[in-house]
Structure 1
């Protein structure tokens, strides 16, 4: 039986050693540089943008920023009901390299699979319909593909700052800041990342066009009872790991996109959706696939310092961990100076990952207590998400949940096709 002092040391090491390692790794990270003689150019890239709305100034700005990267083709995939509206929007851009197609129901996996067989370039890039790119983002992304063992490349992300930012925008900005910190650190340590975010992500086309991938992507199951048609970026990231492909994050200003998040109470629904997705993916990774145990990412999945990413899967909510540390220290010693040092350390640990944001926007420092309190509150979101993993609704975007029933479909095992049966059916 551990004494209070021993328990305190174990808990402190568990919670903070990885943070120290990640700080060093993040601060010493360097992106793969641009090659002198690149073998890939922007004309080797096809951009696929799954969308529902298909209109509005933000979407037009996304199209323009994608066009400025000079890809081979941009394919917009919407639903049948919005096809003509999207064609009208695309016509306003006056570009011959934009193509518009549709599927019957709103489902990102199905929208992606609709056009993957038609991609003719070496690299496929998926992008959300609300991103803004820096001018040379493709050059920096393609630089990573000069290494033949890399199958997927992601980017760093920032929130597009509003003219009058509010608390919700502040929390969203910190979410992306924290994510940048974590993925740059784990990439530097062992080349792995918990999830290549679909906001902007690139893959070798031949990996995605392999029939084995297509079958796995369209027949993923959850609990053996449901066909899962959500969490697409988590699935592809796990596929890269399980099939021996390396992934990389080009963490640098030249490859840093801007995006939007909810700037109202619906941000909580986004956090809930992300948490459910992380639970499902990480439980699959750790208990069924188990490939992650070979690398540092296994430790990442158990990191207690993350309130909004997959890496908190096996850890109690932060309010419990922090409270237990304080309790054990008080029980071990009545030295209030030691308690003050611990509380100061806890404050630093909650600030250090966000340092980049506060350097850019020092006026936001006054909101740091809001971030800390939200971190504790997020523990309850995480627990609620665990008990509602069969819910896949977005709840934050008009029209996004019309076809929610297609995201998790009950499996009739008598009718479920094996890979060989499915491939034979394709040949017909």
Structure 2
């Protein structure tokens, strides 16, 4: 060991390696020790205390119809379906009548919001909510049948203001080649997100973003007028009001105002969705739509993560691990920079005879390092490859995509003041007019 540490290049390699992978080591341990809040024997809150808000763009799609059926099967007190235009309102009503989604347990109301902004639609429905809790759901999300009791469980703690869930992208085995690869990229994107959220929450209770695909809030918090004003008037460098990043805004607003965040990672609270396929976005290919989504998410992180660190000491004080390992780390986490730096410093260190002798040569240690780097990119998505071993054939391309994503992230950082939604037509019309 003394011979190794005597080399300045090996010390540099060791420092970069630790900076790069210490967070992963901690996350692996934390992820496997994370636990969801269980349902109490006598819950204070039930489905009768829940209103679901469902913003809809494509009321004739199979995804919306399955999504609505799954929500209805969970028996919330009320469902607000929010869309824009008389034609879409009538399509939703016709669907509900044709499928007999009308009973005395769950009341269904279709709202015609004049604006297509997701934030405006959410607020439009929020003002009409009368239950203690509200759950927002995207139209391409599919709940399990005992979903709501497990989402409500953390609210037994009166300090909890928002609850997030774990997510899984549906795999379409019939999709092979490039289409199958895009579907896999979407799957691994959310698998990594699940892993990171569960791990950071297990360490210090923090959460970087409660996904807006499905999340639950205390209604009173979101019906607060100061929140509604801030939510609908968020600006970026004079541009806005902002439409994208609604879930990130709500998460950070909750943290800044002292509310606790909870992440439920149990199978009963796991929603399904679709990502990386060509459904939706009529004038976009699957690749264009998916990349547009990645850019939008990366822009939101580039805008909000640094701002969250400097704007709120509450985040750093209450959630130090989340603040440093997630928010701060996201600013510098570029695989296309870190991995070459690790390999270069290690290769130069191996040119020292003492180092190469101690490690058994040059080629073998380099091959092992390359294997380590590649395999480390599969850790968070290992569960998927266990369920679908046929996807192992895509592993080399998954590794390459990690470096491609560094380019996406850099571009998103440079263009972070671009506030367009990107992957859905018409959503930004109100912003463009203003």
Q: Same fold (TM over 0.5)?
A: yes
Query: Would the alpha carbon gap of residues 395 and 227 (structure 1) be closer, same or farther in structure 2, given more than 3 Å must change?
Result: closer
Further displaced range: 78-87 or 20-29: 78-87
1:261 alignment partner in structure 2 = 275
Tell me whether 1:3 sits opposite 2:25 in the alignment. Answer: no
Q: How does 1:390-405 map to 2 (within 5 A)?
A: 390-405=417-432
C-alpha distance in structure 1 between counterparts of 2:407 and 2:84, whole Å = 35
Partner of 1:366: 393
Equivalent residue in structure 1 for 2:96, among 55, 74, 90: 90
Matched, 1:194 2:208: yes
Instruction: Say which of 316, 319, 330 aligns to 1:312.
Output: 330
Match of 1:297 in 2: 322
Distance in 2 between residues matched to 1:15 and 1:366, nearest whole Å? 26
1 CA distance for matches of 2:304 and 2:365?
Answer: 39
Q: Any unmatched runs of 5+ in structure 1?
A: 304-310, 410-428
Q: Deviation at 1:228?
A: 2.3
Match of 1:424 in 2: none
**Separation (CA, whole Å) in 1 of partners of 2:216 and 2:122:** 13
Is 2:145 aligned against 1:120?
no
Residue 365 of structure 2 aligns with which residue?
338
Partner of 2:346: 329
Post-superposition Cα deviations, 1:49-81, rounded to whole Å, max 9, x if no partner, equal 112222222211111100000000000111135
- Indicate if the aligned counterparts of 2:233 and 2:240 stay in contact, CA closer than 8 A: no
Distance 2:246 2:39 in 1: 29
C-alpha change, 1:224 and 1:190, in structure 2 (3 Å) is: farther
Distance 1:363 1:159 in 2: 16
How far does the alpha carbon of each residue in 1:351-401 deviate from its partner, in whole angstroms, 9 at most, with x for none? 111111111111111211111100000111111111222323333334434
Structure 1 residue 136 corresponds to structure 2 residue 154: no
Match of residue 164, structure 1, among 156, 168, 174: 174
TM-score computed with the length of structure 1 as normaliser: 0.88
- Counterpart in the other structure of 1:70: 75
In the other structure, the counterpart of 2:281 is none
- Tell me the residue number matched to 1:277: 300
| Distance in 1, Cα, partners of 2:92 & 2:325 | 41
Q: Corresponding residue for 1:349?
A: 376
Residue pair 2:305, 2:327 contacting (<8 A) in 1 also: no
For structure 2, the 5+ residue unaligned runs are 1-6, 278-285, 357-361
Alpha-carbon contact 2:244-2:421 (below 8 Å) kept: no
SS at match of 2:377: helix
Shift of 1:168: 0.5
Listed one character per residue, the Cα deviations across residues 64-122 of structure 1 (whole Å, up to 9, x for unaligned) are 10000000000011113533333333333332511011221210111111121211111
Helix, strand or coil for the counterpart of 1:152? strand
Superposition deviation, residue 224 in structure 1: 5.2
C-alpha displacement at 1:180, in angstroms? Answer: 0.9
1:178 corresponds in structure 2 to 192
Please give the root-mean-square deviation of Cα atoms over the aligned residues, in Å: 1.9
- Compare 126-135 and 7-16 and name the one that shifted more: 7-16
- 370-379 vs 115-124, which deviates more? 115-124
Question: CA separation in 1, counterparts of 2:242 and 2:295?
Answer: 17
* CA separation of 1:157 and 1:326: change in aligned 2, threshold 3 A: same
Q: Deviations over 1:291-314 (max 9, x none)?
A: 4322211123357xxxxxxx5223
- 8 Å contact 1:285–1:291 — kept in the other structure? no
Whether contact under 8 Å (1:392, 1:404) holds in the other structure is no
**Deviation, structure 1 residue 225:** 5.5
351-360 or 329-338, which deviates more: 329-338
What is the count of residue pairs matched by the alignment?
A: 398
Partner residue, 1:16:
21
What's the secondary structure of 2:272's corresponding residue? strand
Secondary structure of the equivalent of 2:292?
helix
1:51 to 56, 62, 87: 56
Deviation digits for residues 20-59 of structure 1 (CA, Å, limit 9, x no counterpart): 0000010121211111110000111000011222222221
Is the Cα–Cα contact under 8 Å of residues 113 and 124 in structure 2 kept in the other structure? yes
Map of 2:110 onto structure 1: 100
| In 1: Cα distance, 2:383 partner to 2:197 partner | 14
**What residue is the counterpart of 1:36 in the other structure?**
41
